[in-house]
Structure 1
Amino acid sequence: MEELKARPANSSPLTPLGFLERAATVYGDCPSIIYNTTNFTWSQTHRRCLQVASSIVSLGIERGQVVSVVAPNIPAMYELQFAVPMSGAILNSINTRLDARTVSVLLRHGEPKLIFVDYLSRSLVLEALSFLPPNTPRPLLVLITDDDDDADHTHDSSPAVDFCSSYESLVERGDPEFKWVRPKSEWDPMILNYTSGTTSSPKGVVHCHRGIFIITIDSLIDWGVPGQPVYLWTLPMFHANGWSYPWGIAAVGGTNICLRKFDGPTIFGLLIKHGVTHLCGAPVVLNMLTNSPNNEPLQKPVQILTAGAPPPAAVLFRTEALGFVVSHGYGLTETAGLVVSCAWKPQWNRLPATERARLKARQGVRTIGLTEVDVVDAETGASVKRDGLTLGEVVLRGGCVMLGYLKDPVGTSKSMKEDGWFYTGDVAVMHPDGYLEIKDRSKDVIISGGENLSSVEVESVLYMHPAINEAAVVARPDEFWGETPCAFVSVKDGLTRKPTEKEIIEFCRAKLPRYMVPKTVVFKDELPKTSTGKIQKFVLREIAKAMGSRASRM
């Protein structure tokens, strides 16, 4: 068989962009995007993306240059997930909730030649650009207006003169017959995403066409997404490109229900109005649904995929009691989507609901698109015992792992070591059945009296308290123990009496080993979060540190 080899006919670069062409052929007259009163079909979406890609090229943007987008989950944001890479450029979606100085850091680092800006983010981007050094080349700006937005808002008064065009103008003047720029190699960069910065400064993660193709197909198979689902965009597309589902929903000809912002009542209303079948979100979205005033049990099951932080078993239990079917996974910006999932075993259906929720709170096993996953000792690199107790670092290898960090060879080499693993920085245990369970970020492990304790485990107990809405646990300096758990909590609205610090501590003491019980409880109206609902523990750590050392030996 030596004469058999790779040839042009079997070596076309893998890319998810072709999913849109197929959707236009197979599902051309079917709905692709619904947003308030705006409705597009897949043939229309395909044509609009080609027109925008054509116009991007006409603006002088070259293959391999970065194009940034600052927009919420509106139709233009969805289209740009295709249109930008179809022009040959690298797509960089920026968090709309960042402050101007942080955005300026990302712009200086990513060096975009063009930025698409939602009109409500206009002043944010202009202010961010004002922070750039005087001699820094200024990118072109395209303004995305929204005539179909029924939300209450005040139009930004920043001068439109700063913008070279409007988004719809690019659509109108673009060539619908444009031959989109296919990658020369499947390893060509396609995406630049910045990490959320929950534990450190954001890093620029670069993904190639091949990796995005693999994670997209993998995500559809693992979640069991059928043909033509109705998908509600509660997960920001600027967060790891919505875990690959912009391309995935095109692949299966689904309907994208876009929305600028949402809350519990809005979600429940859209579930009924559009017959939503699928949605994604961090555990904060589950918490939002279970605490919504109109959270009546569903008439039809709705699939929810949650990740981003370990979901407390109590929150999972409450969500599924409403009729949602929750799937739980794990991934990072560096993997472009979820690469570990709690694959469900049929025999678990016979267990009590509380036990099912406990099992589902585990992250699980590798998806079929990932080559290997393990939990290893940080010092020796050896696999930890499969006892559900021994802590180690999660390591991964597979085709959807990033190319590396932009302009950061040191950071790339530290995380992607010569032993062939990507080191995630997440701390976990491996259970006897081969399912892993995340216990913490490495920076969030609390070392109290020489014992390593998981803040996630303490948080899971706190979420069992009927009065607690949100909880996060970090280390507080302690003169005797070195560190002790400090709990930050918010309580539910409408309580006739709020619990005291002593009551919360006693509640935990009845359910946890003594060394894991919070020694301090701080009540907050709301805990600081990233745009995707992850609690910013580094902010809370600074607060706990500023509180000073505890002197008692409780």
Structure 2
Amino acid sequence: MASRKGRKRTGTSAGKSRKPAKAKKPARKAVRKSAKKRAAAPKAPKASARATAKPAPLRNVRAPKSFVRRGAAAALRPAHRLKPIIGRRNPYDTDLDRNPANYQPLTPLTFLERAARTFPDHIAIVHGQQRFTYAQFFERSRKLASALSQRGIGKGDTVAVMLANTPPMLEAHYGVPMTGAVLNTLNTRLDAAALAFILDHGEAKVLITDREFASTVKETLKLAKARPIVIDYDDPQFPQTGEMLGEIEYEAFIADGDPAFEPLLPADEWDAVSLNYTSGTTGNPKGVVFHHRGAALMGYGNVIAANMPRHPVYLWTLPMFHCNGWCFPWSLSVLAGTHVCLRWVRAKAIYDAIADHKVTHMCGAPIVMSTLINAPENERREIPWTVQFITAAAPPPEAVLAGMADAGFNVTHVYGLTETYGPAVVNEWKEDWDALDKGGRAAKKARQGVRYHALDALTVMDPETMEPTPADGETLGEVMFRGNIVMKGYLKNPKATQEAFAGGWFHSGDLGVMHADGYIQLKDRSKDIIISGGENISSLEVEDALMQHPSVMFVAVVAKDDEKWGETPCAFVEKKPGHENVTAEELIAFCREKLARYKCPRYVVFAEIPKTSTGKMQKFKLRERTKEIA
């Protein structure tokens, strides 16, 4: 029986007949089912007799197998050095100690300080009619840190913020860790029960909240055991009518702060800088802890991956609460860039911001691209330069890429998870790919790509054997990460942390393939693979086929229980405006022109697809809805 393990797929062609599966649904085997087995540390290899023999001349010494980082044992082997020659003292380890003059822990906090000293008058933040220079940005962040310190906030404390993409959210990314505390950015789309769990689990001491979310926060505080100090943000540019819940308003709070406050830099770069929670689609969300070192390296990594020049102008269509805005609040300070805040993601507001502020870069989910290319003509603005648009989640379909190019955007596909500080993989474009036709270019763009500079290693492995899969673009395995932009672990959840790091790699839970040129490509989440008649069907493959239909705006494909085949694909579709007449039969027939018959959906449901705040499809909700379909 096919399983959800990262093994090579076997498929039947469209022309071959298949024996029906038994009515019993195939067992859904998680990729991490043997995490305990994998987590067991392998024994270190014993020293061989050769180790005591007279060493050969160095020119004849070959690198031992421990240099090759393969398999679970590689995590424990001394891959960074040869066995020392007996009796020889290493002069590079003598009287060359680490000291304050030659070593300082990495932290993104120094980025803002440098930008403020070097470019004090350069505009750092644009919000409506508000403008803050880098000198003011740094001063306001220090005042926030000082005001928090006066309330007893320091190392080991958590400061939660429930904010839109506004100046206080940017200031919190610096002001909170300047006290030694940890920043917890809350997902503004969550319900009160989920938020209450997060406040309690993270032991929030302070909550800075926007009036826009007052009703949800009020209910959250009733449910939560935590009793944080509540500070209200009353946006002067976009006034809200929500109730003031706290004891003080944000501007009044930081007014008491010292603008000359001396930031508390981390004594250890492993110190926590922020806390982010996973989506929690199965049970309670997990708290992902970032450290200063990873945040700093990710700050640099984004600059390189996005090919940012000095003083870039970045538009905030991506929620800053999502993986700390993929760490771009820290990245922009590296080059003294300008943050253009956007409170609500709407087509006209995006086009106006780009045209008015000469935006050079932005990030967003595929839903943002669809919003842009499907905007009515009267909401658009001409963009005479190319805007770099970075997107994650589902690969952009050919039609979307073409529409974005026509509108003035160059799309770069990235991939990552909350546990990797956001994007840790980038589709590095090669010049010779420009010569490909539209379909060829779209196929290249659809791949997730290669590792970020800040990531040490990226691979696709069989999760049972922990051996790399062949680089053939066909053999399925689990995508795994290793490096400095992988989380510290899950807060108060050692079991989940151990399972995630089994074998010395971070297990993503995503299934993918490795191509011959070293680029990875996702095929599905392990839980999203559809097993029909013993065959593995990638929901992403079916979605990609349906997205090529001119009437489809969004599509999500999930498994529906089937008495004959065990499971069968079910497609939920949102139509484009003006395409209301398209039928389910038409889409199924269209899909059969693109895919083997058994991969095509037997059910098509026209409905609004539930999405997260970052535009990701919430397939777990759709799976529940399939139970209602006759």
TM-score range, shorter-chain basis? over 0.9
Alignment partner for residue 393 of structure 1, among 459, 463, 478? 478
2:447 is matched with which residue: 359, 362, 376?
362
Q: Considering Cα pairs closer than 8 Å and 6+ residues apart, tell me whether 1 or 2 has the greater RCO.
A: 2
CA drift at 1:531: 0.5
Structure 2: runs of 5+ lacking an equivalent = 1-91
**Is contact 1:475–1:486 with CA below 8 Å preserved after alignment?**
yes
Q: Give the structure 1 partner of residue 52 of structure 2.
A: none
Whole-angstrom distance in 1 between the partners of 2:206 and 2:93: 48
Question: Which sections of structure 1, spanning at least 5 residues, go unmatched?
Answer: 549-554
Report the aligned-residue RMSD: 1.4
Moved more, 474-483 or 141-150: 141-150
Matches within 5 A, 1:196-207: 196-198=279-281, 201-207=284-290
Task: Provide the residue aligned with 1:73 in structure 2.
Answer: 165
The structure whose Rg is larger is 2
* 1:293-372 superposed matches below 5 A: 293-294=376-377, 295=380, 298-372=383-457
Question: Does the alignment pair 1:452 with 2:536?
Answer: yes
The answer to whether 1:289 aligns with 2:381 is no
The 1:442–1:184 alpha-carbon spacing in structure 2 relative to 1, beyond 3 Å, is same
Task: State the secondary structure of the residue aligned to 1:22.
Answer: helix
Per the alignment, residue 487 of structure 1 pairs with 571
Is the counterpart of residue 521 in structure 1 residue 612 in structure 2? no
From 138, 142, 145, the equivalent of 2:227 is 138
Equivalent position SS for 1:46: helix
CA deviation string 1:10-66 (max 9, x = no partner): 221110011010110111101011111101100000000000100001111121100
Corresponding position: 1:504 with 2:562: no
Match of residue 60 from structure 1: 152
Aligned partners of 1:498, 1:181: CA distance in 2, in Å?
A: 62
Q: Does the Cα contact within 8 Å between 1:487 and 1:522 map onto a contact in 2?
A: yes
CA distance in 2, matches of 1:384, 1:405: 28
Q: 1:350, 1:116 → 2: CA distance?
A: 51
Q: Which of 209, 214, 221 is the matching residue for 2:297?
A: 214
Paired amino acid for 2:251: E
Structure 2: how far apart are the matches of 1:356 and 1:93? 37
* Structure-2 change in CA distance of 1:202 and 1:316 (3 Å): farther
C-alpha deviation, 1:315, in angstroms: 1.9
Q: Normalising by structure 1, what TM-score?
A: 0.94
2:110 — aligned with what?
A: 18
C-alpha distance 283-306 of structure 1, shift in aligned 2 (>3 A): same
Within the candidate set 195, 219, 223, 1:127 is matched to 219
- Alpha-carbon distance change, 492 to 200 in structure 1, aligned in 2, over 3 angstroms: farther
Q: Deviations over 1:353-388 (max 9, x none)?
A: 221122111101111111111111122221112221
| 2:264 equivalent among 181, 190, 193 | 181
Give the match for residue 148 of structure 1: 237
1:394 Cα deviation after fit: 0.4
TM-superposed CA distance for 1:122, in Å, is 1.9
1:314/1:388 Cα in 2 relative to 1: closer, same or farther (>3 Å)?
Answer: farther
Shift in Å at residue 310 of structure 1? 3.2
SS of the equivalent of 2:509 reads strand
Q: CA deviation at 1:199?
A: 5.8
- Does the CA contact (< 8 Å) of 1:115 and 1:140 recur in 2? yes
**CA apart distance, 1:400:** 0.9
1:481 Cα shift?
1.1
The Cα offsets for residues 233-286 of structure 1, whole Å up to 9 and x where unpaired, read as 000000001101001111111111002102112211111111111100011111
* Distance of 1:313 and 1:429 partners within structure 2: 21
1:224 aligns with 2:307: yes
Query: Separation in 2 of the partners of 1:454 and 1:148?
Result: 46
Match of 2:444, SS state, is: helix
1:540 corresponds to 2:622: yes
Structure 1 counterpart of 2:247: 164
CA distance in 2, matches of 1:114, 1:183: 21
- C-alpha separation in 1, matches of 2:583 and 2:570: 15
Corresponding position of 2:93: 2
Measure how far apart 1:318 and its partner are: 2.2
CA distance in structure 2 between the partners assigned to 1:39 and 1:503 by the alignment: 52
Match of 1:269 in 2: 352
| Structure 2 residue matching 1:191: 3-state secondary structure | strand
Match of 1:552 in 2: none
Give yes or no for contact 2:199–2:226 (8 Å, CA) kept in 1: no
2:328 aligned residue (229, 241, 245): 245
User: Structure 2: which amino acid aligns with 1:130?
Assistant: K
Structure 1 residues 76 and 286, CA gap change in structure 2 (3 angstroms) = same
Distance in 1 of aligned mates of 2:399 and 2:529: 22
CA deviation after TM superposition for structure 1 residue 452, in Å: 1.1
AA paired with 2:585? K
From 200, 204, 207, the counterpart of 1:112: 204
Identity %: 48
Q: Is the 8 A contact 2:200 2:226 kept in 1?
A: no
Instruction: Please tell me whether the aligned partners of residues 316 and 361 of structure 1 are also in contact (alpha carbons under 8 angstroms).
Output: no
Residue deviations 1:81-129, cap 9 Å, x none?
1111111110000011111111111111111000001111122112101
